[in-house]
Amino acid sequence: MSWLGSWCALAILAVVLITASDGASVKLDFGSTLYTNGKRDFDRERLVNAHGDFQAPANARALMEYIVEELGVFFGRSNDGPLSQEIFPSNTGQVQSEGQKNIDKVDCDWCDPLRKRMISKERVVVDISSRLNLVQGSNAEINAGANFAADFFKYFFDKNRGYPKPRYAECFNEPMIKWKSFRTSNTETEESVVSRIGKICGRMCTAITTENPEVMAGGPGASSAKPHLSNFANFRKRMKTFLDNAQEAGCINFISEHLYGSGGAVQDANLDLIETYTYRTS
């Protein structure tokens, strides 16, 4: 084809594309709100939360006030779970007195009132994955961790003083990608480690929710963003194994999955896979 023929072909294609686009229109209304059955589905306080603590340093106070008061975004997730407390595991008998101190940090005559306004009742409390080493050595350690977790949610919060319990107790943050760190021997398999993590989280769920029925306990703060790898072996070794063992050992009230930059289609499929599996096994 000559250069003239090529130019004509491109011109015709452009005309076709422009003509086709004339029949479609897209309207964006950033002020709209989604309602389903008369109920607003998108709740910013529930669905949009910052990850941090309740501190308000002087150089960031204006920004913190803007985020909380103007945008309605609260601080909803922190790595300050029960197993992260200094009194665990050696001084668990001090749980009530330490819990009172924790409440006093938020509600006192000299406390920064911004801290109370930043607290979302929909927040998540989680332990960093390394705390798993404190409870995986024996059944006695698991029981101690589960019982202390129940007491933590019972004594470390007081809604009457403006410091309500978190809605969600997430057992550990992304433990599966670090499974090798939790092996009891160099030959222990990934499935074995994940099974143990699931059982620990399941038993913690039972202990927490028995004493604190308003709290939902789950996990595992997974980052398995590509479950389809190796013909879904990634899903079977991790999320499926975790769920099966957590449910068998106790309970699992919710599943926390961290979505990373693997593409929207993969993320949607990942959530669909979890939703379908839990629906069929619940």
Hey, where are the domains in the chain? 77-281
CA atoms within 13 A on the CB side of 36: 3
* Positive or negative: CA dihedral 183, 231, 254, 166: positive
Alpha carbon distances (Å) from 176 to 14, 79, 237, 240: 50, 17, 10, 12
pLDDT bucket at 234, cuts 50 / 70 / 90? confident
**Tell me, what's the pLDDT at 15?**
40
The pLDDT assigned to 260 comes to 72
Mean pLDDT of 54-83: 77
Whether 156 contacts 99, CB under 8 Å: yes
Q: Is the peptide bond prior to 164 cis by the omega test (within 30 degrees of 0)?
A: no
Encoded tokens for 4: 């003239």
Q: What percent of the chain has pLDDT over 90?
A: 49
> 238 φ, ψ to 5°?
-110, -85
d(CA 148, CA 142) in angstroms, rounded, equals: 10
Which range among 20-34, 49-63, 116-130, 198-212 shows the weakest confidence by mean pLDDT? 20-34
Highest mean pLDDT among 69-78, 114-123, 153-162: 153-162
pLDDT-derived band at 272 (thresholds 50, 70, 90) equals confident
pTM score of the predicted model: 0.80
Please list, in sequence order, all residues whose beta carbon lies within 8 angstroms of the beta carbon of residue 219, skipping any fewer than 6 positions away.
126, 170, 171, 172, 201, 242, 246, 252, 255, 256
In the numeric block, the tokens 């990373």 are attached to 260
